[in-house]
Amino acid sequence: MVATACNDRNAEKKIAELESRLKELEGKKTAGAQAPTSPVAQPLQDQKPEGPLPVFEFANTDHDFGTINEGQVVEYTYAFKNTGDAPLIIQSAQGSCGCTVPEWSKEPIPAGGTGFVKAKFDSNGKPNIQNKTVTVTANTWPKQTVLRFKAMVTPKASGAAGPVR
């Protein structure tokens, strides 16, 4: 009975410490940011906008380059159609690392129109299995769409010829 009481107190103490740390972290996060002008302002950003919206319809959101050699630069074009009721505007596309460079349709895509997001992957210094993403931000709902690709990168042969006899 005494052991259980001690464990309960220790658990309560740990919970209190964690709650205190959480409040401290939340205070730091909001201290640097400006306070919202109204309590409703923040949730509205996460709500689906009203009215007609553009919609991405990608032919494919995943691509497998298969096996490539280290140092090889490969690219894949993700084609899409705007199946929504408003022009689609891509604001940005960002690769998951510096080895992935995206390009995209810069002009607004009308409803029923087509566009593209191209991912160029430089495998130099990236041996073995690679899983990368391109995050596309547009005036769609949700705002971000993630495109994925993978490749098995065969490492470059090392300069050493083996043991010397």
**Residues whose CB falls within 8 Å of the CB of residue 116, separated by 6 or more in sequence, listed in order:** 77, 78, 79, 80, 104, 105
Of 41 and 104, the structure prediction assigns the larger pLDDT to: 104
Give the pLDDT score at 158: 73
Tokens of 64: 């497998």
The confidence score (pLDDT) of residue 50 equals 86
Q: Is the pLDDT of residue 35 over 50?
A: no
Entry pTM: 0.68
| Mean pLDDT on 9-31 | 70
User: What is the C-alpha separation between 96 and 52, in angstroms, rounded?
Assistant: 31
Q: In the prediction, which pLDDT does 116 show?
A: 98
Give Cα 153 distance to the centre of its chain: 22
Tokens 């010397």 correspond to: 164
Decide which of 3.30.413.10, 2.40.50.100, 3.40.50.2300, 2.60.40.10 is the CATH code for 56-154: 2.60.40.10
Rounded mean pLDDT of 71-95?
97
Q: pLDDT class for 76, splitting at 50, 70, 90?
A: very high
Q: What is the pLDDT of residue 157?
A: 83
Alpha helices in 39-106 (DSSP H): 41-45
Note the pLDDT tens digit of each residue in 110-150.
999 999 999 999 999 999 999 999 999 999 999 999 999 99
Alpha-carbon distance of 42 to 47, in angstroms, equals 9
The pLDDT assigned to 23 comes to 73
Give me the residue spans of the domains in the chain: 56-154
What are the distances in angstroms from CA 33 to CA 27, 36, 37, 40, 46?
A: 10, 9, 12, 16, 18
